[in-house]
Amino acid sequence: MGLSVLLVAAALVVVQDPRATITGQVRDAESAAPLAGATVLLSDLGRATITDEAGHYVLRDVPPGPQHLTVRLIGHAPRTLHALVPATGRLRLDITLRARAVQLATVEVRAPLHVPGLESGMAQPYPDREVSAAVLRYHPLLAEPDAFQALSGGETAMRLEAPGGVHLRGGASDHTGFVLDGIPVLSPYHAAGIFSAWTPEALTAVQLAAAEPPLTTPASLSGAIQGVTREPGSQVAIQGSVSSSQVRLTLDGPLGHGGAGFVLSARRGFPGILAPKSEPSYVQGRTGDGLAKLEFGVLGGRARLLGYAADNDLDAAAASTEEPGAGDARHRFRWRSGSLGAEWRTAAARGELQLLAWRASSDADADWAADSNGATLDAERRDLGLQAAWRVGAAGPGDTDVGLRFEQIRTAYHVTPDSAAREPTLLDASTPVLTAFGRHVLPLGTRAEVVLGASLALSEGALHPGVRAGTRWRAGGPIWLSATWSRTHQFAQSLRNAESVVGTIFPADLFVGSATPGVPVARSDQGVLALEFRPSPGFRAGVQGWFRDFDGLLLAAPVAAGPFADGGFVTGGGSARGLAVDAALATARVGLVATWGLQDVRFAWGDSSYAPDHGTRQLFEADATWFPTATTAVRLGVSGAIGRRTTVASGGFEWEACNLLDEGCEFGGSPQYGSEPLGGATPPDYFRVDGGVRQHWHLHVAGRDVQVALFATATNLLGRQNVLTFVRDPGTGRVSPVEMRPIAPLVVGLDWRF
């Protein structure tokens, strides 16, 4: 009992024993200013505290005896003191620190790599896709950012080196619709070094919607490419580029108060500026485009006004330099495109109401100076449209879209032959189309959804029902399965001869409406089955199989030896089957993208059929971007084609896509194929390796961050002699290949963002 009492008494003494407190102030040795945020450490006890705004610190309940007190603060030399702490009471230690520069380890901040298919927040689910403006800037296969060529690969085919259009799942180029912020755009192509007529700096993203063609865009057989313009910023921003092929400038910013803003963009290409003036085979002329957008709040909603225009004027020698007695005659090609639209959106009845009105136009003129079948072309299209659409619910499972659209399509197609022995072609028509549409997304639990959509179009007294149906199912973990089926119609088709190599410099669509005698309404039935595997944010792989059957196709190629129909056309159908595989990988420094497509495409009329130029059997691309530093990008791209088809042309023909080694783009001659069978020749397999580098710097100007970059691209690094087509000498019957780009620098330039 006595021992217990003594132990309890001792414990009480220990508990009640007041230990010492160390306190003080930390100041700068030179200025005597108090130092806040300094660490005061009792290293022997592993205890620490931080000085307050006045530099004061307090360490309580410190055991008596010798202690080590260390004080540290970034930008000052650390200091350690030996303190003899009393048993009780307060010990004050005021400490001064001397300023000393501290060399910190380099901290490298990297933005995430922008790789197609791996960007977050993209609106288009696989197998459709979306490419952001950042991807356009670093895309390995692009010498310059190009909104359309960035979508190439797999189910999307384009002519190699000098595209003449975008072909979706075997469709012709005029089967692809184009919209910019919902406003239709006609013939949005350039040529001779620039393809897409949408300035890249004016875009936030470009979307491909073809597996489930959208109901909210005007009728197009294969689907739509949709451009999304950038939102005006809170302060004026300037972006642009100057290179060996073009100059671009884009401005955006606010307008007064209330959230109004603007975007202005302009571009000019200059084919032929580097060409030797003594060489008639070089393409001469100009290309350009512009965009203006105004956004503002009105009537409780948000309004947007958009104006777009593109202009092209090119000419090329009508005879190759190899032809004896080649004269000075030149082909001339001019095409223009313009769109003006207004949109108003507002919240309405648990959803959103959209009103849209537009005017879209395209004009194409050509003087085809061939000796045997010269002709003058004048083609026009004028569209007026109104659309009202109502969405109930947010975009995604459970939402419903309904709407009504009216379009008036006026087309004129006039061809005047040089020879009085041939009759002129005069095709004028006005085609009204009234379409009602609806779409509903039905969720099936948390892992699946079904999309049901339908449209009913009335034109020329006939009804044309369309269907959209699909399902998307999360099979487990990172695996998604999807299946879609659609029936689409198109009420205007092109009479450009897509099999003619003249499309490399004259890619404009030449429309005639379905109200024209003999012109049918085109129809397509398409099914797509796709699987997507995405185990992590940095890796994605997908595979898709698809089929299409066409009916009511307008075909110029079987009756036109030159670049456009000049004496009639035929109607027919076609079929397309395909398989596409793609994958993307992104690490901290490297981005990899690979695509492979297998397809079988045939167009037919009567008892005849052919494989079109765009129906290449296999297409593949492999792209790599490496960032050795945060400001340096090294790019390498491989592209290839196996099983290409072409039609042998007759007469002399000289051609080469744009490059700096040859000082421009070459086109000389009047290639025609006469009695040669369509798609009757198989060029050698195509293979090309391109490399590029981009280096940017950050400058601080007037309180703003300015980014300036230099870039350069070289093409065909392995020096392979690829072949565009073949030409038959009418005198000897000998067939000769027309070669494509040699190993050469392709483009050099400077761009900026301010």
Q: Which two tokens stand for residue 19?
A: 């230990």
In the structure, what pLDDT confidence band is assigned to residue 12 with cuts at 50, 70 and 90?
very low
Measured CA to CA, the distance from residue 570 to residue 229 in angstroms comes to 39
The lowest-confidence range among 266-275, 329-338, 719-728 is: 266-275
Is the predicted pLDDT of residue 328 greater than 50, yes or no?
A: yes
**Structural domains present in the chain:** 16-97 (2.60.40.1120), 129-753 (2.40.170.20)
> pLDDT band at 11, cuts 50/70/90?
very low
DSSP 142-202: -SS--TTGGG-BTTEE--SSS----EETT--GGGEEEEETTEE-S--B--SS--B-S-GGG
- The pLDDT of residue 45 is 77
- Per-residue pLDDT reduced to its tens digit, 132-167: 888 888 777 788 899 999 999 889 999 989 899 999
Tokens coding 562? 């030159």
Q: What pLDDT sits at residue 395?
A: 60
| Least reliable range by pLDDT among 99-103, 435-439, 682-686 | 99-103
Q: 272: left (phi > 0), else alpha (psi -120 to 50), else beta? A: left
pLDDT at 715 over 60: yes
Residue 397 pLDDT: 66
The whole-number pLDDT of residue 1 equals 41
Choose between 461 and 88: higher pLDDT: 461
Whether 5 has a pLDDT exceeding 60, the answer reads no
Please indicate whether residue 542 or residue 475 has the higher confidence score (pLDDT).
Answer: 542
List the one residue out of 384, 377, 373 whose CA is nearest residue 412.
377
Compute the CA torsion angle 691, 692, 693, 694 (nearest 10 deg).
-150
In the three-class reduction of DSSP (H, G, I as helix; E, B as strand; rest coil), residue 504 is classed as: helix
Q: Which two tokens stand for residue 136?
A: 């356009």
> Do 196 and 257 contact (CB within 8 A), yes or no?
no
Burial classification of residue 542, based on how many CB atoms lie within 10 Å of its CB (0-12 exposed, 13-18 middle, 19 or more buried): buried
Each residue of 184-201: pLDDT tens digit? 999 999 998 899 999 999
Q: How far is CA 309 from CA 254, 356, 363, 651, 688, in A?
A: 23, 19, 11, 36, 34
pLDDT tens for each residue of 615-658: 999 999 999 999 898 889 999 999 999 999 999 998 788 888 88
Residue 514: how many CA atoms within 13 Å on its side-chain side?
21
Phi (first) and psi of residue 624, to 5 degrees: -140, 135
CA–CA dist 327, 319 (Å, integer): 7
Token pair of 301, please?
């909603």
- Distance in angstroms (rounded) separating the CA atoms of residues 533 and 482: 12
d(CA 120, CA 130): 10
111 confidence band (pLDDT: 50, 70, 90): low
pLDDT of 396 reads 60
Q: Write down the mean pLDDT value for the chain.
A: 89
- pLDDT (mean) for 598-617: 95
Flag whether pLDDT at 384 surpasses 50: yes
CA angle (154, 593, 533) in 5-degree steps: 75
Is the pLDDT reported for residue 246 higher than 80? Answer: yes
At residue 10, the pLDDT reads 36
Given a cut of 80, whether residue 532 has pLDDT beyond it is yes
Question: Is the pLDDT confidence value at 100 over 80?
Answer: yes
Please report the pLDDT score of residue 109 as a whole number: 55
| pLDDT (mean) for 548-565 | 93
Q: What is the pTM of this model?
A: 0.84
Q: What is the 3-state secondary structure (H, E, C) of 555-617?
A: ECCCCCCCCECCCCCEEEEEEEEEEEEEEEEECCCEEEEEEEEEEEEEEEECCEEECCCCCCC
Split at pLDDT 50, 70, 90, the class of 456 is very high
Q: Identify the DSSP state of 503.
A: G
